[in-house]
Amino acid sequence: MSKLTKRILIVGLGLIGGSLAKALRSRTICQTVIGYDRDQAELDTGLRLGVIDEAATDLMGAVENADVVVLAVPVKAMETVLAEMLPALRSETIITDVGSVKGNVVRAAEQLFGAVPENFIPGHPIAGSEKSGVAAADETLFEHHKVIITPLPESNPAAVTLIARLWQAVGAEVLQMDVERHDEVLAATSHLPHLLAFSLVDTLAQEQDRTDIFRYAAGGFRDFTRIAASDPTMWHDVGLANKSAILQKIDEFTEGLAQLRDAIETEDGRTMLGIFTRAKAAREHFSKILSGSAYSQVMNIKETTFHVQPGGQANGTIRVPGDKSISHRSIMLGSLASGVTEVSGFLEGEDSLATLQAFRDMGVVIEGPHQGEVKIYGVGVDGLQQAPGPLYVGNSGTTIRLLSGLLAGQKFDSELSGDASLSKRPMERVAKPLRLMGAVVDTGENGCPPVKIKGGQALKGMHYDMPIASAQVKSCVMLAGLYAEGETSVTEPAPTRDHTERMLRGFGYQVEKQDNKVTLSGGGSLQAGKIDVPADISSATFFMVAAAITPGSDITLEHVGINPTRIGVVNILKLMGTNIELLNEREVGGEPVADIRVRYAPLKGINIPEDQVPLAIDEFPALFIAAVCAEGETVLTGAEELRVKESDRIQAMVDGLKILGADIEGTPDGAIIRGSEMGGGVIESHDDHRIAMSFTIAGLRAKGEIEIRECANVSTSFPNFVELAQQVGINVRKEEL
């Protein structure tokens, strides 16, 4: 690369100074790297190890000839060194430092020079180790690490750019911050943990039986105290140089520790669990919080392809993952209930985890999720606390819209924000009715997130005639209604999912339903209970269709939610001749549930009744496969909404099925599908999980291998789809690149 500058002088050839010198040299970023150290032996080592080009023993002479000077001495020595080199400094020389505290260096420069010179650009690499001295110099130390530079308003922009480029050139990511903010942030993230480690080891080392303590010290002690082996001089200096910010953090920590001590003394398990579960969640999701993404495992961004061999079976008894809508609501209502709600079958998807985290942020103690089990220590309808910052809900539209209603009734202010795609979705449809109830709600640009809600408003019940059929809007208004004076009712222009009203009833809250109108009164309470989240009928659909199209099949899907607003697929498959039985019908937390047994019977084509279309809207990709395997013609109309789902599902299915040789025609609002044979081929799923899963089951009746591209999204809605498909006898294999 072309050189950034000519002569860089590193003052203090220790770990950081030496590592920077070595990295600059190895990447030939400047013409000459000169090292200055008061210890000749360190300079000799630096030369011998190839860390520097030249060693300087005369600081003044070296400074006079340098274009850039980097101060890499302990924080408290910065002032002395600056004073020493002052007479030799030229005004155009650019100075920077690597000190772990910035306020004291800036103050020292101010005192010495009268004002901070425009070419002095303070910096701090967030990289290091417990080692010290030039022998430990590592040219890769700063690669993929952050360096914070703290320029001042009077700093010379060209000098800021040069220092930033210098760090970038050694592989670092450069950030800018105010001096005070830097010292506050570092007090919390670096200084406090180091001081705690020193103090813990020192305290234990003074105990009588210390030999035993250290002999039996396990991994936890070793991990926690590794940094107590850091350089004492450096930390002495940091402690003094950042005194006020560190003292504040020590006080906050002492308060937190006292709270934990108190909880242990009084055997207050709930407070203890609260501290531990919040900490565990925060620790696990650090990187996601930092990257601004939501809360589940890192999304599978690998290129995923499914390979399906022809033939196979669909037999056995399985349980598919829990319903997403109900998973969300179990956390919300469980948090508002009195008592402990135990949830099983919770869908551990990104969206429902965002809801869970939001309630943790509002002070609710929630254990889990662990294999679908969640325990919520309800705080009562009025027990939520203000979150420490905005509630980040990732990509979850359900969370942001339902929470808007719930938060409108709280005593505290709230802000809800989401990822880039959620930030483009309309929020006024919930803000408007909430304002009619007396809530103070602001939305961002174009009525999109963030949603800002002012607390402490007295809400009034109202009747709301919903202009569009939306379960989210209806739920939002009803949740605000819990906090409103008098009755709140909503009428819907067409039936929408009714999970909220059902679960409210399941928690003992009175909700009236008459025709298309739901009504509740504010001021009631919810009683905790057990919720076994029904399996998602949309996920179960793939296995229902698998059994329906495969001669000899007999499959039972356990504990599936058969909410009347979701049951279209069962009705349609029955009309086509499938042998479906709903066994063991029961009610769980207000939701109807059954085990669904499907056995093969020859299928016939039908005209799908339009009144069933909204009740099966997510199920059509799989139903298209059933239609290809039926005798005669199946006609779907009134389903234009399919064209604006995760993909244009009509087009994606028509294109894919044609590749397999099926007889299908797309229409603007549906398709005409004739019973036909399917061969093999390569299918694009367009990143749409339902398209990918539908073509997987097509393999049961196809004559050749089907390769399905872009299947990574399957794992977000149905994490164990491939495993369950293999378990029932489908010959599918997942390939990740």
Would you say 229 or 458 has its CB closer to ligand NAP?
A: 229
Q: Does 133 contact ligand NAP by CB under 6 A?
A: yes
Would you say 74 or 529 has its CB closer to ligand NAP?
A: 74
Contact 459, 488 (CB under 8 A): no
Would you say 174 or 659 has its CB closer to ligand NAP?
A: 174
Shortest spacing between CB 354 and ligand NAP, in angstroms: 35
Q: Does 173 contact ligand NAP by CB under 6 A?
A: no
Shortest spacing between CB 169 and ligand NAP, in angstroms: 18
Closest residue by Cα to residue 522 from 572, 566, 470, 487: 487
Q: How many C-beta neighbours within 10 Å does residue 310 have? A: 17
Q: Which residues of 145-157 are buried (b: 16+ CB within 10 A; e: fewer)?
A: bebbbbbbeebbe
Q: How far apart are CA 187 and CA 196, in angstroms?
A: 12
Would you say 82 or 459 has its CB closer to ligand NAP?
A: 82
- Residue selected from 39, 58, 442, 640 as contacting ligand NAP according to rule CB under 6 A: 39
Closest residue by Cα to residue 725 from 347, 309, 303, 301: 309
Q: Does 503 contact ligand NAP by CB under 6 A?
A: no
Shortest spacing between CB 242 and ligand NAP, in angstroms: 10
Q: Does 17 contact ligand NAP by CB under 6 A?
A: yes
Is-cis flag, bond preceding 719, omega within 30?
A: no
**Site residues (CB under 6 A) for ligand NAP, limited to 519-558:** none
How many amino acids of this chain bind ligand NAP (CB under 6 A)? 27
Residue 522, phi then psi, degrees to nearest 5: -75, 170
Would you say 105 or 504 has its CB closer to ligand NAP?
A: 105
Shortest spacing between CB 655 and ligand NAP, in angstroms: 56
Stretch that binds ligand NAP, among 8-16, 369-377, 442-450, 689-697 (CB under 6 A): 8-16
Contact 499, 460 (CB under 8 A): no
Q: x/- site string to ligand NAP, residues 87 to 126, per CB under 6 A? A: -----------xxx------------------------x-
Stretch that binds ligand NAP, among 38-46, 450-458, 678-686, 690-698 (CB under 6 A): 38-46
For the chain, counts of helices (H) and of strands (E) = 27, 32
Shortest spacing between CB 82 and ligand NAP, in angstroms: 11
Residues 6 or more apart whose CB falls under 8 angstroms from that of 243 comprise none
- Residue selected from 4, 7, 8, 14 as contacting ligand NAP according to rule CB under 6 A: 14
Q: x/- site string to ligand NAP, residues 47 to 86, per CB under 6 A? A: -------------------------xxxx-x--xx-----
Shortest spacing between CB 117 and ligand NAP, in angstroms: 19
Q: Which two tokens stand for residue 562?
A: 């058969």
Shortest spacing between CB 78 and ligand NAP, in angstroms: 7
Would you say 242 or 335 has its CB closer to ligand NAP?
A: 242
Stretch that binds ligand NAP, among 14-22, 204-212, 502-510, 722-730 (CB under 6 A): 14-22
Q: x/- site string to ligand NAP, residues 335 to 354, per CB under 6 A? A: --------------------
Shortest spacing between CB 75 and ligand NAP, in angstroms: 5
Would you say 235 or 542 has its CB closer to ligand NAP?
A: 235
- Residue selected from 8, 16, 63, 664 as contacting ligand NAP according to rule CB under 6 A: 16
Report DSSP letters for 500-525, one per residue.
Answer: HHHHHHHTT---EEETTEEEEESS--
Closest residue by Cα to residue 636 from 663, 665, 658: 665
Would you say 133 or 455 has its CB closer to ligand NAP?
A: 133
Q: Which residues of 408-443 are buried (b: 16+ CB within 10 A; e: fewer)?
A: bbbeeebbbbbbeebbeeebebbbebbeebbbebeb
Report DSSP letters for 284-334, one per residue.
Answer: HTHHHHHHT--SSSPP--S-EEEEE-S----EEEE-PPBPHHHHHHHHHHH
Shortest spacing between CB 72 and ligand NAP, in angstroms: 5
Q: Which two tokens stand for residue 494?
A: 């067409």
Closest residue by Cα to residue 490 from 593, 405, 399: 405
Closest residue by Cα to residue 696 from 707, 688, 686: 707
In angstroms, what is the C-alpha Rg of the chain? Answer: 32
Q: How far apart are CA 95 and CA 39, in angstroms?
A: 22
Shortest spacing between CB 81 and ligand NAP, in angstroms: 5
Eight-state DSSP code of residue 614: G
Stretch that binds ligand NAP, among 6-14, 386-394, 616-624, 672-680 (CB under 6 A): 6-14
Contact 167, 196 (CB under 8 A): no
- Residue selected from 20, 234, 557, 642 as contacting ligand NAP according to rule CB under 6 A: 234
Would you say 16 or 593 has its CB closer to ligand NAP?
A: 16
Q: Does 623 contact ligand NAP by CB under 6 A?
A: no
Would you say 195 or 391 has its CB closer to ligand NAP?
A: 195
Q: Does 35 contact ligand NAP by CB under 6 A?
A: no
Stretch that binds ligand NAP, among 33-41, 465-473, 623-631, 683-691 (CB under 6 A): 33-41
The catalytic residues are: 618
Residue 585, phi then psi, degrees to nearest 5: -65, 135
Would you say 99 or 681 has its CB closer to ligand NAP?
A: 99
Shortest spacing between CB 89 and ligand NAP, in angstroms: 16
Would you say 37 or 498 has its CB closer to ligand NAP?
A: 37
Eight-state DSSP code of residue 687: T
Q: Give alpha helix (H) positions in 206-268.
A: 210-215, 219-225, 232-241, 243-265
Tokens 């495993």 -> residue: 723
Q: Does 172 contact ligand NAP by CB under 6 A?
A: no
Tokens 């679960």 -> residue: 503
Q: Does 132 contact ligand NAP by CB under 6 A?
A: yes
Stretch that binds ligand NAP, among 13-21, 48-56, 159-167, 380-388 (CB under 6 A): 13-21
Q: Does 382 contact ligand NAP by CB under 6 A?
A: no
Q: Which residues of 249-267 are buried (b: 16+ CB within 10 A; e: fewer)?
A: bbeeeeeeeeeeeebeeee
Shortest spacing between CB 244 and ligand NAP, in angstroms: 18
Residue 712 CA: distances (Å) to CA of 306, 395, 688, 719: 10, 17, 9, 10
Q: Catalog residues that contact ligand NAP under the rule CB under 6 A.
A: 12-17, 37-39, 42, 72-75, 77, 80-81, 98-100, 125, 128-129, 132-133, 231, 234
